[in-house]
Amino acid sequence: HTQVQARVIRRRTTDEGEIIQYDQQELPIHTTEKSNKIFLFWPLTVAHILDESSPLGDLQPSDLSPDNTSFEIMVVLEGVVESTGLTVQARSSYLPSEILWGQRFQNIHSDVSDLTGQKILNYSRFHETYPDSSGVGNP
């Protein structure tokens, strides 16, 4: 199986006044699989919900300016290559300015099958987004 984890890394001051330069807090993630263990035979969106229990629960759109370097989100995808049994890990980080507030990813799945009856994935739209009209207000 493949598993995905996300953490926010930022400077934190403890109640005692100690400064922790690179404090890490786990960001619970959600997928359409309802678990952080996923099966990657099809594209899937991984999300962190901003609510009162989130370490980023107080995040506002103004916090996503290019000048803000107060936090970084690290995402790690780890799984086993079935043919070799080797573990593979992919990591990516996101700065506040790379987070798109109120946006959703475009659907890359085609509703139309090609002549062979197979689904078509349009990867040219992989990074495209559109405004979210659900009214939720999360990035």
Q: What is the pLDDT of residues 49-84, one digit of tens each?
A: 888 999 999 999 999 999 998 999 999 999 988 889
The whole-number average pLDDT for the span 17-43 is 82
> Which pLDDT does position 43 carry in this prediction?
72
> Which pLDDT does position 135 carry in this prediction?
54
Q: What is the pLDDT of residues 113-123, one digit of tens each?
A: 666 777 778 88
Q: pTM (2 decimals)?
A: 0.79
CATH of domain 2-99: 2.60.40.1400
Check residue 111 and report its DSSP letter. Answer: S
- Strand 2-13 and strand 19-26: the pairing is antiparallel
Per residue, the 3-state secondary structure of 30-74, as one string, reads: ECCCCCCEECCCCCCCCECCCCCCCCCCCCCHHHHCCCCCCEEEE
CA–CA gap between residue 107 and residue 110 (Å, rounded): 8
Our measurement of the distance from residue 33's CA atom to the centroid of its chain's CA atoms, rounded to an integer in Å, reads: 14
The ranges of the chain annotated as CATH 2.60.40.1400 are: 2-99
Say which residue, 112 or 129, is predicted with more confidence.
129
Find which of 35-44, 88-97, 99-108 is predicted with most confidence, using mean pLDDT: 88-97
CA–CA gap between residue 52 and residue 111 (Å, rounded): 37
> Which pLDDT does position 112 carry in this prediction?
66
